[in-house]
Amino acid sequence: MSQLAVPAATNSAVREVLGHFASGVLVVTADGPTGPIGLTCQSFVSLSLDPLLIAFAPARTSRTWPLVREAGAFGVNVLSAGQAATSAAFARSGADKFHGVPWSPGAGGAPLLQDVCAWLTCELWNEYDGGDHTLAVGRVLTVGADPGREPLIFHRSRYRELAPAVPECSL
């Protein structure tokens, strides 16, 4: 067996390698001081079932995250296939991110986007230093999902959608 060359763990090498891990795409929303606010995030995990906790990791450079933190309550919107434009809109700074995006208020006033495949409302439970990101932990208050919708996927720096399911067959 030949040995593979192992590149050094540089920022660019780690980013390229971790790009092979497919993730879902979220928009975290809150009722901000002047109206609805939100940010796109792909670092998300179910953290605990007792208590019910989730975690996500906004960048420390985010201007939206401090406003979400201040609100205390937030929504987690798991984007559906076909919502790449919504993800891109919420990833931008300074724009009216909610322009043309239908939503309704959830528990605690957090905006819940329409046409997502799943959503949660949470209250901020704690946050931790995560280097150039913050690890935000939320206590889950309410949940919902649309089993008829497939998720939007981010893989190798591109939005992707799941392929249609192949019917099961027996051999």
Q: Per residue of the chain (171 residues), what is the pLDDT tens digit? A: 456 667 778 888 878 877 777 789 999 999 999 999 999 998 999 999 999 999 999 999 999 999 999 999 999 999 999 999 999 999 988 778 999 999 999 988 999 999 999 999 999 999 999 999 999 999 999 999 999 999 999 989 898 888 877 777 666
pLDDT tens digit sequence for 83-132: 999 999 999 887 789 999 999 999 889 999 999 999 999 999 999 999 99
pTM for the model = 0.88
Total number of domains constituting the chain? 1
* Residues 6+ positions from 81 with CB-CB distance below 8 Å: 117, 149, 150, 151, 152, 161, 162
Task: Please indicate, yes or no, if residue 52 is contained in any of the structural domains.
Answer: yes
DSSP H or E run through 17: helix 11-18
Task: Please indicate, yes or no, if residue 4 is contained in any of the structural domains.
Answer: no
Phi-psi map region of 66: left, alpha, beta (phi>0 left; psi -120 to 50 alpha): alpha
Task: Please indicate, yes or no, if residue 59 is contained in any of the structural domains.
Answer: yes
Task: Please indicate, yes or no, if residue 1 is contained in any of the structural domains.
Answer: no
Q: And the tokens for 39?
A: 């940010």
Rg (CA), the chain: 18
The pLDDT assigned to 88 comes to 94
The pLDDT assigned to 137 comes to 98
Q: What angle do CA 135, 141, 146 make, to 5 degrees?
A: 95
Instruction: Determine the structural domain holding residue 70 and report its residue range.
Output: 41-76+119-125+148-154
The pLDDT assigned to 1 comes to 47
Task: Please indicate, yes or no, if residue 3 is contained in any of the structural domains.
Answer: no
